Copies of this chain bind each other. A is one copy, B any other.
Amino acid sequence: MIRVGILGYGNLGKGIESAITQNPDMELKAVFTRRNPEGVVIRTEDVPVLSTDKLPEMTEEIDVLVLCGGSATDLPQQTPEYAKYFNVVDSFDTHARIPEHFANVDKVAKESGKTAVISVGWDPGMFSLNRLYANAILPEGKDYTFWGKGVSQGHSDAIRRVEGVKNGKQYTIPVEKALDAVRRGENPELTTRQKHIRECFVVAEEGADLAKIEAEIKNMPNYFADYDTTVHFITEEELERDHSGIPHGGFVLRSGVTGMNREHKHLIEYSLKLDSNPEFTASVIAAYVRAAYRMNQEGMSGCKTVFDIPPAYLCAQSGEELRKNLL
């Protein structure tokens, strides 16, 4: 049994908790929180909720600690800190800062002899893997990534900061026409506006100026101004009823050519359609928890990403079983 600890009990931590119930070789050992543990109620029976202060005492009881904090401030500090004591997995997703995060974590994990897997999830994560495989196979080609249809937390937050807005949710939606052009092998150059549209569902405060809200959202720099954005005003009840989920997904495509005269076209496409973004991310993490545990058992320490890990390490089955059943 792989004994798993969870640090942070938000959407992702809850996803890890439920993913563990789907992996018979794992057990949840404890949930750690920076809040008052007595205020945190988890759904797994007979598993303690402990303060993060207790973590250094738990090194003998936990094989892999999953860090469920945010990428902005939590993980840059937590992952190097806890890689001193534990094999860890995080979902650090600030693409531009991955090299720096990797270096920080690698240094600590090499010293402690622990295995740390960073940036696990679907993007970065499974999308990255698909970019890598597709680039390795088709060295001459063009990559495309489309996101959605799905809820963007950052854009939903931006809507809610607009004056007169009580609540809101934003969906990122890939432009079907652009996707189809890529699929036809046309290798289009696509602008931001041509790739995604943004759809907003907004609950306005009573008496608010709807036209003003709509204009303010549509013209918001960085978030919406570069996109075709639609704004729908709905009631709080409708928002709750129709938009309370956290779906997401997307598409990674590579279009390339082969042949002595580059005369043959090929398209590789990977896509995800997810009812729950955090639960799917957690499911990917659970598989890499297994890999971290095994690699550490075999003496492979330091920081790793999905690029470094042999696929077989993700599965509970033996090499023989995998070759027989999945190859």
Contacts and interface: CB of A to CB of B under 8 A. Distances in A.
A130 B252 CA distance: 14
Given A98-B323, A311-B133, A323-B99, A22 B274 contact: no
Interface string A284-327: 10010010000000000000011111111011000110111011
Contacts of A17: 260
A270 B133 CA distance: 12
Contacts of A183: 273
Given A266-B275, A269-B271, A314-B133, A326 B128 contact: yes
A310 B295 CA distance: 12
B312 A310 contact: no
B283 A137 contact: yes
A156 interface: no
B326 A135 contact: yes
Which of A17, A266, A324 is the most central at the interface, judged by chain B CB atoms within 10 Å of its CB? A266
Interface in A131-149: 131-133, 135-140
Interface of A: 15, 17-19, 21-23, 43, 95, 98-99, 102, 119, 124, 126, 128-133, 135-140, 183, 258-260, 263-276, 279-280, 282-284, 287, 290, 305-312, 314-315, 319-320, 322-324, 326-327
Given A22-B140, A102-B323, 19 more contacts: A18-B258, A18-B259, A99-B323, A99-B324, A132-B326, A136-B287, A136-B315, A258-B283, A266-B276, A267-B273, A268-B271, A270-B271, A306-B311, A306-B327, A307-B311, A307-B312, A308-B310, A308-B311, A309-B310
23 contacts: A17-B260, A21-B260, A22-B139, A23-B139, A95-B327, A98-B323, A98-B324, A98-B327, A99-B323, A126-B133, A126-B137, A129-B133, A132-B311, A133-B314, A137-B284, A137-B314, A266-B273, A268-B271, A270-B270, A306-B311, A307-B312, A307-B319, A308-B310
